[in-house]
Amino acid sequence: MALIELKFYSQMLGMQTEAYVVIPQKSTIGEIGIKGSSDSKEYKCLYLLHGLSDDHTIWLRRTSIERYAADYGVCVVMPCGARSFYTDMKYGMKYFSYITEELPSVISEFLKISTKREDTYIAGLSMGGYGALKAALKKPEQYCAAAGLSSVADIKCGLFDDVLVSVFGEEQNVPNEDDLFFLAEKTNENSVKPRIYMGEGTEDFMYDDNIRLKEKFEKLDYDFTYRESSGAHNWAFWDEYIQYVLEWMFK
């Protein structure tokens, strides 16, 4: 695998931004401890989103995502989403449009990734879990599968009101198009829907909200997978569960 620190200008954000990318290389013969290699002409691509307190570096710093991805020969793109909840903010930047529109275009311009729906995936943790599920539900024609770990399942839960002022405004009027429960119902009417995975720790402070969203998906017509185990809102849980996500996505 190769690690790329990609710095580029975003027209959507109106500023320079960054993403970390891990991408297969044709051969790793002679590299100790790595058996993954790929001769694919265009790689499958996973967009992997960070949580509220972090940035694009965090998945590499806290997990072995590069090593895990090597086993599947896939590209993993880790962008910076700031504290946006991956939303086109009322007082801020258009991070939803950036993540779902501009970023894939930029990545495909620089790297040999497939832009086909069946080769495009998205996942994230906490705020990023919310962002990943929202992206796939709003753009089912773009993503074949999405995974949320310890997600902010209910954006109206009241836990993040201080942050959400800049996202939705002082009155916290969350549009239906930013509500996962509404989107699950709406996208259920589509003939094309993403596969959905949710992972949650039973000691997580947002466990009850995730259970409600799980029950919503189970009542609808999705290819839906849910997994839970003992665990809290922390990297020990996410490092374990991103391995389950990769297996679910790519095997």
Residues in the chain predicted with pLDDT less than 50, given as ranges, are none
Residue 41 confidence (pLDDT): 82
- Enumerate the H helices of the chain as residue ranges: 58-62, 65-70, 95-97, 103-110, 127-138, 161-168, 180-187, 207-219, 235-250
C-alpha torsion 161→165→168→171, nearest 10: 80
Q: Count each helix (H run) and each strand (E run) in the chain, helices first.
A: 9, 8
Residue 40 confidence (pLDDT): 66
Taken in order of first residue, the domains within the chain and their CATH numbers are 2-250 (3.40.50.1820)
Distance between CA atoms of 97 and 193, rounded to whole angstroms? 20
